[in-house]
Structure 1
């Protein structure tokens, strides 16, 4: 599994969007018991801290110690530096396993073997993610220019799974039909810039060229943003749920 986010772990914690409550509410209706959940590739614990409000115990793992250092510490969350292919727990431990905006980096076969080992017989796995945000036509056009024209070759090949809506990932489970959800938030201009700086491709570009590509587009982005103090931002959510 690649670690593309330790470098910008602080920015990730500040600027990455959070999932809506209705997504969690849907998942919780599918779970019979709420004894234990595993949030794999938890990052800064964004999902784990919501799970902790509903489950007695949450096991939250990530390969990035820097990401985990940004996570909210709660008494019923155990954070551990572990990869997705091995959880240090007994068989049939979890009622719910979540992996958010990360499965495209995994060795699918190894992770799914561990899911099948650690999930209870009636347990649920939820693979969650989000695709490119939508703001408005002018801003979206510049962001697409950044995404495709400038950073295109700097995206890892695994990014294609997100572009394909997670529909092409292997998913060897009894699939549960899920509603469509989206993240809705409001950003000011600086929040948008902060978020763009968390992109793994942008970090790859900076490493290769010793320059931040946003420098080339900053004026265009500012003009496209206009005089609005804040704008509504939407992220379509990707979701595969199985038993």
Structure 2
């Protein structure tokens, strides 16, 4: 997984959407204590930064040291580079030395990369019982306007051969991912619960977002330029149809949330 984002780590940090404050407030409302969070697959630290505003301490881990270079450095965030397969020994050294010590585990746009059986064993060992919370979310394809969305829909369909098969879990809004946890208070199930994040972009920002995709890098390595001249012109025509240079881009975010139980 780390290799997918190695070459475009800076683009990924700049282009990846931020998550809505409402998402973090909702998650925090389900955690009775806010002492220690493990942000898994933190990437360039977007979620960790927001969590650090609410929780006392954040341990943020990733398998890519290049991604971590672009993460915001805050006094209550400790970043750790970990092996792709996290052993119990490494986990105890870098994240949680004793069981039932974490109030919250978060996974932002990364759960589909994990070996879930191994990961869930660590999560259940480390979360406080019965109210330790695990929250995993993904954002799906952006929504711009009718003209751009029509072009983007065809473009995204054409990109599917270059995505890792795990991407289907994101397209399914994490609704089909294994998530063996109990509902948190106030919910009848573990989701997905929908949120929306928005970001202002011009057309060049939008192209930077596309170039940050792992599928874009995969296609490029196979000699395919996804944003070739014809595609770029088609996007520009749709983008400029209403005369607006800057557009509000909406990213639907889907959250799975549960507690570890007894």
TM over 0.5, shorter chain = yes
Which 4+ stretches in 1 moved above 4 angstroms?
none
Question: 1:167 is paired with a residue of what secondary structure?
Answer: coil
Match of 1:159 in 2: 167
Report the TM-score when normalising by structure 2.
0.88
Distance 1:117 1:3 in 2: 29
Structure 1 contact 3–63 (Cα < 8 Å) conserved: no
Match of 2:252 in 1: 236
Distance 2:14 2:2 in 1: 21
Distance 1:135 1:56, change over 3 A: same
Alpha-carbon distance, 1:2 to partner: 5.2
Match of 1:139 in 2: 148
Question: 1:117 is paired with a residue of what secondary structure?
Answer: helix
Corresponding residue to 1:181 among 171, 195, 207: 195
Match of 1:72 in 2: 72
Alpha-carbon distance, 1:152 to partner: 1.9
Q: Does 1:96 align with 2:104?
A: yes
Within 5 Å, which residues of 2 pair with 1:160-239? 160-176=168-184, 177=187, 179-209=193-223, 211-215=224-228, 216-226=230-240, 227-239=243-255
Number of residues paired by the alignment? 241
Alpha-carbon distance, 1:109 to partner: 0.4
Structure 1 contact 85–107 (Cα < 8 Å) conserved: no
Distance 2:85 2:155 in 1: 31
Report the TM-score when normalising by structure 1.
0.95
Question: 1:11 is paired with a residue of what secondary structure?
Answer: helix
Match of 2:52 in 1: 52
Corresponding residue to 1:111 among 119, 130, 145: 119
Distance 1:172 1:56 in 2: 27
Match of 1:42 in 2: 42
Structure 1 contact 64–81 (Cα < 8 Å) conserved: yes
Distance 2:215 2:69 in 1: 23
Gaps of 5+ in 2: none
> Cα RMSD between the aligned structures?
1.4
Alpha-carbon distance, 1:84 to partner: 6.5
Question: 1:39 is paired with a residue of what secondary structure?
Answer: strand
Alpha-carbon distance, 1:212 to partner: 2.6
Distance 1:84 1:128 in 2: 21
> Which stretch shows the higher mean deviation, 168-177 or 22-31?
168-177
